Amino acid sequence: MSLKLPVYSELVKTFYSNLEIQESTLIPEVYGIKMVIDQSFFCDLTQLSSAGVPFEGTLDDDWKFDFSVHDARRLVCTNQADMTGRLLTGSLALESRILYYLIIRILLLRSSNLAQVSEKDLIVMWAFHTDRQIDWAHLVRYRMHKALRLNAPLPYPHLVTLFL
């Protein structure tokens, strides 16, 4: 469920502050050492699958005809849940609540508003429940790319430590 490596926060900050991403290749420079982590090497290091839909937080065209918010909510919620308002974690069935925790703490790391399930979280839970494949390697690289924005949280510190 997690890596048991120490995390070196200064190295993680340096990694992201000097990271370039060109297509599917990560090119960080840490203390004058430039690395090239192409898609193949990335998959070897992370053991993440690159099969499936390249999910980036919104519905992919391949899923649009199969996904409905109402059906996805019914899939992940308890029978007593309100299906109209905001989707809160208290409405989730036990299995979905555990899956949600894994999503927000490991896969799509988030540090705020943890009580409310976002549309992105709902799509990922729906994908799990309906056996849809997600290109996890693409998703992690995409999230790393989003971390290059000013004041963005730095995701996957254990993974960055593994790279270093």
What's the whole-model pTM score? 0.82
pLDDT tens, residue by residue, 74-103: 999 988 877 778 889 889 999 999 999 999
Distance from C-alpha of 65 to C-alpha of 17, rounded to nearest angstrom: 40
pLDDT tens, residue by residue, 110-134: 777 889 999 999 999 999 999 999 9
How many Cβ atoms sit within 10 Å of the Cβ of residue 159? Answer: 19
Per this entry, what is the length of the chain? 164
